[in-house]
Amino acid sequence: MNYETKQRSALVETLEEHRDEILAADTIAQLTAAKYSVSRSAVYRNLAKLEADGTIRRITVPGEARAFYRYTASPVCRRHIHLECSECGRTFHLDVGSTDSLIDSVMRQSNFRVDSGSTVLYGVCGDCRRVGGRRTG
């Protein structure tokens, strides 16, 4: 049975507000608790449920022991390939036209269907390239 609780709704709202970021579980708990008065344990319980139903995806970051999560249920995310900066961690959406073109090209060349909503290309964003190193904040 999958039902919506106030805590789960608050957590999903928090994730939607930060859909262009990968967030550590403790950060998600802090953001949700601060705005919606949801306990840390409720956040962790619901993260596991949201991961199981495909609403979020667990991300491993090299050199990090913590779990990170990306919200993938947003309609904005479903038709875009994600571009993630390996320096600052920000996530960008490749525009729909470019996503469709890339996916069509992959399909024609390799007969492989790409799941755009869960595809991430890693690189360095323009802001980080301009400053020549890891950004903070």
The pLDDT assigned to 61 comes to 73
Q: Are residues 66 and 3 in the same domain?
A: yes
Q: Are 53 and 114 found together in one domain?
A: no
Residues 68, 90, single domain; the answer is no
- Note the pLDDT of residue 116: 76
The CATH number covering residue 112 comes to: 3.30.1490.190
Residues in contact with 21: Cβ distance below 8 Å, sequence separation at least 6, in sequence order: 70, 89, 90, 91
The CA R_g of the chain, rounded to the nearest whole Å, is: 16
**Residue 4 pLDDT:** 65
| Domain shared by 104 and 86, yes or no | yes
Based on the fold, state whether residues 96 and 46 are members of the same structural domain: no
Same domain, 67 and 95: no
Q: What is the pLDDT of residue 95?
A: 87
Give residue 135's pLDDT: 46
Query: Which positions ≥6 away from 107 have C-beta within 8 Å?
Result: 113, 114
Q: How many domains does the chain have?
A: 2
Residues of the chain with pLDDT under 70: 1-4, 76, 78, 133-137
Query: Which helix H or strand E contains 51, and what residues bound it?
Result: helix 40-52
**Lateral strand order in the sheet of 68-71:** 23-24, 68-71, 56-59
The per-residue pLDDT for range 82-97, each reduced to its tens digit, is: 888 888 878 888 888 8
